[in-house]
Every structure is written in structure tokens, then in C-alpha cells.
A and B are shown apart, each in its own frame.
Chain A
Amino acid sequence: MPSVNDRVLLAVESSCDETAVAVIDADRRVLASVIASQDELHRRWGGVVPEVASRAHLERILPCLREALDASGRSLADVGAIAAVTEPGLVGSLLVGLTAAKTLAWTLGVPLVAVNHVEAHLYACRWAADGEPFPAVGLVASGGHTSLYDCRSTLDFELLGTTIDDAAGEAFDKAAALLGLPYPGGPALERAAVGGRADAVPFPRAFLHEPRLEFSFSGLKTALLYAVRGQPNARQPPPSITPERLADLAASFQAAVIDVLAAKCEQALAATGRDTLCIGGGVAANRALRARLEQLADRRGIRLLISPREYCTDNAAMAAIAWDLLEAGRVSPLDIDVTPGLVRKRDQNAAPAKLTSPAANASRR
């Protein structure tokens, strides 16, 4: 498509608490990546608040679009396609970005490409690679996701397994809340763990030696609760939370999460025979996890691609995957709706994902 190739992709991501817009050229060079974070808003509530999130997206989407285009040195006339993250995420938040993207695609007369947020996180590993990142085993670990994929190509992802309860980032957030640490919990817990003993508290590591490619962090969360507040009906109170105890608890908790993530990556590598491991999502910013995965890669002699830090947290640049989709003809109709839940590709035909946006529900009735 030569007429498209000298033009740029305008990408919008609003699946959770960041409003993000990026401009990417056909060579996958990121010309601009603008992110308006709502961390400050959410800190007051101790977590992402969906309604606060969607209102804030509304206020920020147009300034973000303008800023990204300005920063890229391009104009709307240069836009050859629009990408929008349509799944998974918070309904109201996704709808703000998708509606902006649809409006632009319709008024500019350019194709709209729907992007899966989790797959885009893995695609961001291409910026850590010299060449193509896939085929690979991919792990996305964030506040909303802990999922292992067999990434056959940028167009073909198979979900191998996911968490059966809490996501890794959610576990970090809830652990931080139990320990009285600030939001966002991941970075706060990582800081609190510095100097702590990772073997101070023997926290559980679910399914560690089982072959199943699934995660569970709920029992770990409960174990931390007991370590902080004491066992139910215990005769003795738990040790008081001194700075040393806090560091030990944080370090031990972090080690338990990392042990499980690393072990399941290794199992998935063995099961698929892939020789590349791609890591994306906010938890990939954790330094102790990175160090552990580097050891694993050295030991197995595989290529490790960790998404660059700026693309670990939510961003629109990773929606550059839309170029691959566009080149394969995967353009979305303008009446496409958001899909908040995680869609399992292999189950798609058996049980189509249900649309849950309030608008979709209203129109059904």
C-alpha cells in the first residue's frame, strides 16, 4: 500500500487509567507518544476508579491528540489510519478512546484498526529486539492481566494460561494496601523491599511445581494478610510492623510473585519449544523480576526481550501493531464495540465474547 506507507498511524489507548495517543510511521518508528496519567487522581482512592477514569479520559483525549500530532511534526492530513485499543479494559474508558478514533476515521476517510491491549504490550518488545520479536513465549503482567501467550506472529497469539484469581499487579497493589504503602502499589512495594530479606517469610507459591500454565496470587495475598494482622483466632498477636519487618514482608512477597512468574515462563518455553521470551505490562518494570528473567535466559540460552520501560506501563505507541494488522487487511468496521473482558482466541467460536458496554446493553433491550 504505497499510498499509505508515507503516511502515519494515529493510535489511541484508553483502556484503563492512562489517556494515551501516539503517532507511528510505517517503519514502526514512534514519532510521538503522549501519556496523560491519572495516578494522582486515583491515589486519593487507593486504586483505579472507573468513573473517575472515564471522565478524565473525556477531558484529556482531545488535548492528547493535539499534543501528539504537534510533537510528531505531522498533521491530520498525514494520517493514513487510526488505531484504537478496544479490548480488554474498563468499559467507559475504552469507549472514550474508541469513539474518538471512530470519529476521526470517519471524518478523515481512513481505515480504523481495533487493537488488543495485551497483544500490543507484547508487540512493544519489538523495540527491545534488533529484528522481529516473534515467534516467542509472551508474558503480560500488569494490574489487570497475568497471561502467558504463544506468540506465533504479530497476527497469531494463543493464550496459554492466565491467572485464576488476582493479577500479579493487582496482588502488588493489594499487598501494598495491606502494608499501608501508597498507590500505585507495585513501585511502592519494590522500594519497600529494598534491604529486606526475601526468605524472611515463607509465602506460598501457587502451582510452582505443577505443569499447569496458570497463576494464582489469592493465597499469597491471604498469607500476607495473616502475616500482617495475625492468624484468625491466634493466641499471639503478629510481630509488630517495624521498618525491618516491613522490608522483610515486602521482599518476601515480591520474591514469591517473581518465583512464580519466572517458573511459569520457563514451563511455557519448555512446552512450546520457543527460544525467545517477551515480557510486557507494568510488572515488567520491576527490577528484581528483570534480574531473575535475565538469569533464566542466560541459563537456557534463549533471547529475552523485555518491553522498554516507557512501554511497560500503558501507552499508545504499542498500538503500532495496527500497522501489521492493516497490512494483513484486518480493518475494523465503524460500528465495532468494545470488548471489556479477556478474549480467549481458541474459545472465540465456541462462546463469542459478550459486549457489556451500557450502550450495547441499552440497544439490545
Chain B
Amino acid sequence: MRPLSSTVVEFLSGSEAETDRFAAALAPLLRPGDVVALDGDLGAGKTRLVRALAAALGCDAAQVSSPTFGLVQHYAGPLPLVHIDAYRLRDCDEFEELGGRELFEADAVTLIEWADRIAPSLPTKRWTIAAEHVGPTSRRYRVACPPDERAARLLAAAAGGA
């Protein structure tokens, strides 16, 4: 991980194992009520990162799959995850008419794939992770942390070689 600004770090993952290590460094910074917006093209590694975070947070990672069809999936664990996919949504109106905001739970972390499609419906204080293709097995993840005390911890983790 390398810092890009006071709240943004970048992680270049060369393998799935490295993505798992990146998620393990990120997971302790997440807390109940957090909303994580995940953006990136088809196949950029959004669902894979959710699986890695689920494993790092003690959820059953085998339960993680693409929620494109069903819109939302829940994973039980010490810190439960709500996994949303906005791929099939047209806009915020559709998300809100579906009761989408009801899905953000105070006792869980909400991870949203294709979040840019519904960005205005998301809380302004949120995590943003942009996933990008670099090569067939490598991905770049750019993480923007909410502007609170965790930013310093994220930068420390980045500086610590995580």
C-alpha cells in the first residue's frame, strides 16, 4: 500500500493472495455502520475483494457471490456484511423506491458494487474503493477513507508495508 494523500492509499495486488493480505490490513479499520462504495469495470475484482474482506472479518467467505441478480446478500459474522450490487439499477430513484436505504444497517458494514450508479443515495461519509485492471492477474485498488481518525491508521498501515 502507498499513500496518495491524507485519506487515500493505493494498493497494487499482483495475485489473489495479495488481495487477501490487503483485505486483512483494511478489515480492522471497518466498523458497524460503515458504507463502502466499490467501483470498477466488469471483472475488475469487486466481488473478489468483498470475498477477501468477508474472510478477514470472520464471515463465511464461501457464502459470497455476485449479488447482481438478487441485488442484496447478507453474510453473518462478528461484524455482519450487507453486499449490494447496483449493476442492474438505473439510478438512485430506483434504489430508493426499492427501499435501498433501509439496507444500510447500523450494526453491519454495507459494501456496494457499481456504487457510482447510486452515489447520491449513499452517505457522504463513506469509504470508496476503486478497482482497476492492471494485468490478467493484477489489480489496483485505490482506497479513500472517511475523514476521521481512521485515516491516520490507514496511512500508518500503508507506511508499515501492509
Contact = CB atoms under 8 A, between A and B. Distances in A.
Interface string A152-172: 000000000011111100100
B91 to A, nearest CB: 10
Interface in A90-127: 90-92
Contacts of B63: 344
Given A50-B71, A88-B70, A143-B69, A164 B64 contact: yes
A358 B98 contact: yes
Interface residues of B, number: 34
Interface in B33-89: 41-43, 47-48, 51, 60, 62-66, 68-74, 76, 87-89
A91 B98 contact: yes
Given A225-B42, A354-B76, A165 B48 contact: yes
Contacts of B102: 358, 361-362
A164 B67 CA distance: 11
Contacts of B42: 174, 177-178, 221-222, 225
Contact of B136 (A51, A145, A226, A344): A226
Nearest to B68: A170
Interface in B92-110: 94, 97-99, 102-103
Interface of B: 41-43, 47-48, 51, 60, 62-66, 68-74, 76, 87-90, 94, 97-99, 102-103, 133-136
Given A51-B94, A225-B41, A358-B98, A341 B133 contact: no
Contacts of A45: 88, 90
Question: Sorted from nearest, which 10 A-B pairs have the closest CB atoms?
Answer: A358-B99, A222-B43, A144-B69, A51-B94, A232-B133, A47-B88, A361-B102, A354-B74, A351-B76, A166-B66
A223 B43 CA distance: 9
A344 B41 CA distance: 30
A233 interface: yes
A165 B133 contact: no
Given A165-B48, A356-B74, A231 B88 contact: no
Nearest to A344: B63
A89 interface: yes
A340 interface: yes
Contact of A49 (B64, B66, B94): B94
Given A45-B90, A167-B66, A356-B103, A218 B47 contact: yes
A48 interface: yes
A89 B70 contact: yes
Contacts of B70: 88-90, 144, 340-341
A16 interface: yes
A341 B74 contact: yes
A51 B98 contact: yes
A218 B88 contact: no
A341 B60 CA distance: 15
B41, B43, B102 — most chain A CB neighbours (10 Å): B43
Nearest to A161: B62
B41, B42, B70, B134 — most chain A CB neighbours (10 Å): B70
Contacts of B89: 49-51
Nearest to A42: B88
B66 A165 contact: yes
Contacts of B97: 51
Interface string A309-333: 0000000000000000000000000
B66 A231 contact: no
A232 B69 contact: no
A231 B136 contact: yes
A89 B71 CA distance: 9
B107 to A, nearest CB: 11
A16 B48 CA distance: 25
A16 B69 contact: yes
A233 B134 contact: yes
A52 B68 CA distance: 15
A231 B99 CA distance: 39
A143 B68 CA distance: 9
